[in-house]
Chains A and B, each alone.
Chain A
Amino acid sequence: MNQPASAYFIEERHDPNETHTLSVLVQNEPGVLARVIGLFSGRGYNIESLTVSETESQKHLSRITIVTTGTPMVIEQIKHQLDRMIPVYRVVDMTLTKRSIERELAMVKVRGQGEHRVEALRLADAFRARVIDATTESFVFEITGNTEKINQFIDLMRPLGLVEVSRTGVAAIGRGPEGM
């Protein structure tokens, strides 16, 4: 390959990318989310999904769930980089534990009449989506599940008059009695 002259080593790496879900327990204090996001943008890591909320209000703890992609070496880096931040308590790679449950919630607005409307309702029923708002010409469905299921539902709604989607991003938790 013809590379520009440089004393830097411009190499391409060909390790395959993996997708991992990380749970990060942090002190809920001003700027903590900016730190985490800044780490990802500053070091060129990917964020596929990011979910954050305070989970233990007395202790001011928040749980951040991040879905990211990268080579195994990059994923390893991301975890260490997160872990060394001062307000971070723990980083757990939910994908490596192989015992995690992942859920996302989406609200899906569909506009249509006649056949389309009936079909949308029928599919919503099959996906166990609930109707949380309805007009004579529209529905808002609420659906929870893993990312794939939600993507599938949205794809099905598209030809039936999909207007817009709002989704929470992934939340993850481990199976069994232990906490993170």
Chain B
Amino acid sequence: MSDKSHDPNQMTGAAMIVRALIDHGVTDIFGYPGGAVLPIYDEIFQQSEVQHILVRHEQGAGHAAEGYARSTGRPGVALVTSGPGATNMVTPLTDALMDSIPLVCISGQVPTHLIGNDAFQECDTVGITRPCTKHNWLVRDVNDLAKVLHEAFYVATTGRPGPVLVDVPKDVQFATGTYHPPRKSDVHRSYAPRVKGDATQIRKAVALLAGAKRPVIYSGGGVINSGPEATRLLRELVEVTGFPITSTLMGLGAYPASGKSWLGMLGMHGTYEANMTMHDCDVMLCVGARFDDRITGRVDAFSPGSKKIHIDIDPSSINKNIRVDVPIIGDCGNILGDILQVFKAEAKKPDIKAWWQQIAQWRARNSLYYRKSNDVILPQHAIQSLFEATRGRDTYITTEVGQHQMWAAQFYGFEEPHRWMTSGGLGTMGYGLPAAVGVQVAHPDSLVIDIAGDASVQMTMQEMSTAVQYELPIKIFILNNQYMGMVRQWQQLLHGNRLSHSYSEAMPDFVKLAEAYGGVGIQVHKPGDLDGAIQEMISVKRPVLFDCRVASLENCFPMIPSGKAHNEMLLPEQANDEATAKAFAGGKALV
């Protein structure tokens, strides 16, 4: 101890890190030790305020922190060592950047005097993670550490949220310096995200909404990120205006799936009614979404006749893909509040009965139709059964990436925000299992289910071991079609049915695998056994691998094919039988 030990703010860099975590209200972090973070691990060992969850791979730490963040609205924290520890974080950081998830990653670095020497486990962490973080820092002086840590939390959680990384050389962790609690001056003066929307733009928006004949509200993950107030206001706006509402993959749950104005998800695998409503509308209100290419389809045919209002906290989202008429930059909760206020004071509910009648016709096409079977479990049916069995329970759903993810989005009805954790922007296979670990840490008594694919789940399967260690009763609900289904679907539709490397020849025995990890394995083949097996899964208070054997060649529809517009969707009845069969027969590609 130094001679200044009487000053409680004098401490080592490693101690500052733990102290900063506590000051920011962090109770759980996910990490993996190594040489360059040993001083921090030593501090963690000597306290009990911050619980550390030891993962099995740093990517797992990152996704767990993401799941934690998404399900709580608070930042997720990951701690990794230098070199390979840091490079293993690149995927989750990129994932969090794409989906605007607040993540704080602390990485160890070789001592400052060795930086640049190709020292053991050295890598240019800030260089590697610069394009996949909202901001990052290399701290060379222990007296800068407190400021940087506080700024890191601030940057991660304000404006458009995102991942940040603080790289701390080992000598800085050992060195003693002065800590201070968070204060305003810790943040760059150049960083000041705009919260309040421009009043004239808000008036213009209200005028458009009030005059709409064929309106639609298209909401995204930004509403959920903005917090519970934004969700409440969005619901109120739908109520007050009587407008139909659809949402992106990321926005599911902001408006309840059981709500009468709900059209279902939009985009490539969205419902017919959602996409047709988008295509034919005359006024579109986009709240906290970003006109991603999976949403718009062909941009020059995207909703050609509409006036578009776009609310986003990130000015770079405006006019990036689609030109809009009324951009409003700021926090969606804030702006929705202002819009509602002006609307209620000055406008009345437009009469859009004819529009709703049109929508009813589109709905009647029943675009999520699939043929049930008594012999084999259809994946859609499995998700519907899971939904029915968990309805009304305190449930959180994560997913991997592939067909099962789209089916989950289509068939699982989300009533509340923060209940749906999926890798939207990056599409990271292997996200769901570690994300479920993170969600379960945040909500120990809730039911946490990863709707998984047989291929994806093998990418981060090792985190089963984490779940067992910490007694996290996550349920891994594998829709096992023995294929990389989504890849196969594209190969069938777009590559002449040449199924190049999309079949998994050697599938592990998931039941034995679960048991090997110390969890519980359940396998089901028959539709008649499904409900009972799901009940069994729910009642087990341990981690479960649920091997749900489903029809292996089922494809995910509806689908907007390549280069097509929203009104040119491929519906299941058009695609499933003949067209797909044709593709199987080596017939011409559909698209």
Contacts and interface: CB of A to CB of B under 8 A. Distances in A.
A38 B257 CA distance: 41
In this complex, which of B134, B160, B562 has the most chain A Cβ atoms within 10 angstroms of its Cβ? B562
Nearest to B134: A86
B130 A9 contact: no
B316 interface: yes
Nearest to B313: A84
In this complex, which of B138, B314, B320, B561 has the most chain A Cβ atoms within 10 angstroms of its Cβ? B320
Nearest to B191: A86
B155 A11 contact: no
B494 interface: yes
B563 A3 contact: yes
A86 B135 contact: yes
Nearest to B559: A7
Given A31-B126, A34-B127, A86-B155, A8 B320 contact: no
Interface in B107-144: 126-127, 130-131, 134-135, 138
A97 interface: no
A5 B188 contact: no
Nearest to B187: A86
B190 A27 contact: yes
Nearest to A82: B316
Interface string A13-31: 0000000000000110011
Given A5-B495, A7-B494, A42-B131, A86 B562 contact: no
Contact of A87 (B190, B323, B561): B190
Given A31-B126, A83-B315, A9 B138 contact: no
A7 B293 CA distance: 10
A83 B193 CA distance: 10
A76 B293 contact: no
B370 interface: no
Interface stretch (B12-20, B43-51, B294-302): B294-302
Determine the interface band of chain B, counting residues with CB < 8 A from chain A: 35 or more
B300 A11 contact: yes
Contact of A9 (B131, B299, B490): B299
A11 B190 contact: no
A8 B562 contact: yes
Contacts of B585: none
B190 A35 contact: no
B360 interface: no
Contacts of A10: 563
Contacts of A85: 135
Interface string B323-352: 100000000000000000000000000000
A74 B404 CA distance: 36
Nearest to B160: A84
A30 B116 CA distance: 15
B326 to A, nearest CB: 16
Contacts of A26: 190
B268 interface: yes
A7 B191 contact: no
Given A7-B561, A10-B563, 4 more contacts: A9-B563, A30-B138, A80-B314, A87-B188
23 contacts: A5-B494, A5-B495, A5-B589, A7-B490, A7-B494, A7-B562, A7-B591, A9-B293, A9-B299, A11-B298, A26-B190, A31-B138, A34-B127, A35-B130, A77-B319, A80-B314, A80-B315, A80-B316, A83-B316, A84-B315, A86-B155, A86-B188, A86-B191
